[in-house]
Amino acid sequence: MMEKALKNIRVLDIAHWWAGPTTGMLLADMGAEVIKVERPGVGDEQRIPIIHGPGLKGENLVFLFLNRNKKGITLDLKNPRGRDIFIKLVEMSDIVIENFTPGAMERLGLGYQVLSEVNPRIIMVSISGFGQYGPSRERQAFDPVIQAMSGLMSVTGFPEHPPVRVGTPIVDYLGGLFGYCGAMTALYWREQTGEGQWVDVSLMDATTFTLGDRIVRYAALREPELIARVGNELPFVPAITPYYFAKDGYFSLRASGEASIIKLAEIIGALESISIDVEAGKGLSRHVIDQLTDLSQQLLEQIDAPLREFLKDKTSDEAREILERAGIEYIPVRTLDEVMEEPQFKARDMLVEVEHPRIGKLKIPGVVPKLSKTPGRVETPGPLLGQHNEEIYCGLLGYTKEELAKLEEERVI
C-alpha cells in the first residue's frame, strides 16, 4: 500500500456545517489523522437529515461526504473539564480547524494565543464569513449571503433577468479549499522554523478572489459593462460558445474559425444571412488575435436565429451530426446522472464506494488532486456520533474505561 502524504499529521476538527469540515476532509484524504470533535448528544448541525429516503436511516449524506476518513469523538468545549481535555489534545496535535463566529474561541478560553502557549507548533485554521478583523467580523454568513454580498450573484445570470445564485454552495467549498491551502502553507513554514501560526480565512475574501478578472478591469476603467451579467458568454472575450436547445437537451458549440461557420450556414440554408466580407476580414493584422475571433463571432451571430430555428425539432444526435459535418465541436450540457456514467469520470475514480455501519454500501465523490507517489484515498464515510471515543480517550489520552464512563455520565463527552 502506498504511503500517505500527511500520515504523521494530527488534526482537531471542531468545525461544523460545510466550509470548515471541507478543510478537514481534504487533509484526511491525504492521510492526516483528523479527529472530528462534536457536541455530546447533538453533534454537528450538518447531521440533521434534509433528505429522507429508504435506506438512509436518518443519516445526512452530505455529513458522511464532508467528514469522510475522519475519526469522531464527542466533547463539550463549554464544560471546564471538556476544555481541559481539549487542551491535552492540542498538546499532541498539529492543526486545529474551527469556523465559529470570530471571538467565540476566545470566549471558550481556546483562542489562538492560548493554544499557541500550550503548543507553539500548533496551526489554527479559522474560517468565518468575513474574517477575524474588519467592521463585519462578527456577522454570521452562509453561502447565499456571501454570494450576494461578494458580487458573485450580481454577475451570474442573464442581463434581462434577476441575479442568480450559483447552483452549489460554492462559497463554502472555496472557504474549505483556502483553509486547506492555508494549513498546508503553514505546515511548510513550520517545517522551516518550528513555529505554528494562525490561518484566517474569510468566505467573503475567498469568493471575491474568484471575481479577480472583473475587479481588476473595473478598478482600472470603471465601465458599467465590466460588472454586468452576460449569461453564458465569456465576459470581455469574443466567445464562440453559445448555448442551443435540441429536442432532448441543451448543448453548446465551439467553432474553430469562419470557414466552419460558413459551412454550417450552407448546410442549414442560411448563407443569405451572412453580410460580412470574409475574404477582407482574413487580411486583418494577425498580431491582434482577437480580430479573427471577432470576425467568427460576427458570423455566428448572423446565423444564430436561423440555426436555432433549424435545430429546434432536431434530436441531440441529429444536431451533433450536422455540426460535425461543418467541423464544429458539439458540447452537450450533461445532467449529473450522465456525468456519473461518463467514462472519464469513472476512469479517475470520482465516485467511490465505502461501507457505512448503518446504511451499508455508499457512493461518494472521489479525491482531488491525484498524487503519483502518495495518492489520497477514501476509506471511510463520516463517523457515527462519538464512534471513536474509546480509541481517542483511552488509546491516545490514556483514560481508563471507568473514567470514560464517568465522563459520559457527566456529559463531558
Residues recognised as catalytic: 172
Q: Which amino acid is at 139?
A: R
Residues in Cβ contact with 280 at an 8 Å cutoff, skipping those fewer than 6 apart: none
Cis peptide preceding 383, ω within 30 of 0? no
Cell of 5: 502524504
Q: Are 21 and 35 in contact (CB under 8 A)?
A: no
The full DSSP string for 210-278 is TTHHHHHHHHHH--GGGGS--TTS-TTS-----EEEETTEEEEEE--SHHHHHHHHHHTT-GGG--S-H
Of 150, 157, 337, 178, the closest CA to residue 249 belongs to: 337
| Cβ contacts of 368 within 8 Å, gap of 6 or more | none
Length of the chain: 413
Q: Judge residue 304's burial from the number of C-beta atoms within 10 Å of its C-beta, 0-12 exposed, 13-18 middle, 19 or more buried.
A: middle
Q: In Å, what is the CA distance from 279 to each residue of 273, 275, 276, 284, 343?
A: 16, 12, 9, 10, 42
Residue 303 near residue 261, CB atoms below 8 Å = yes
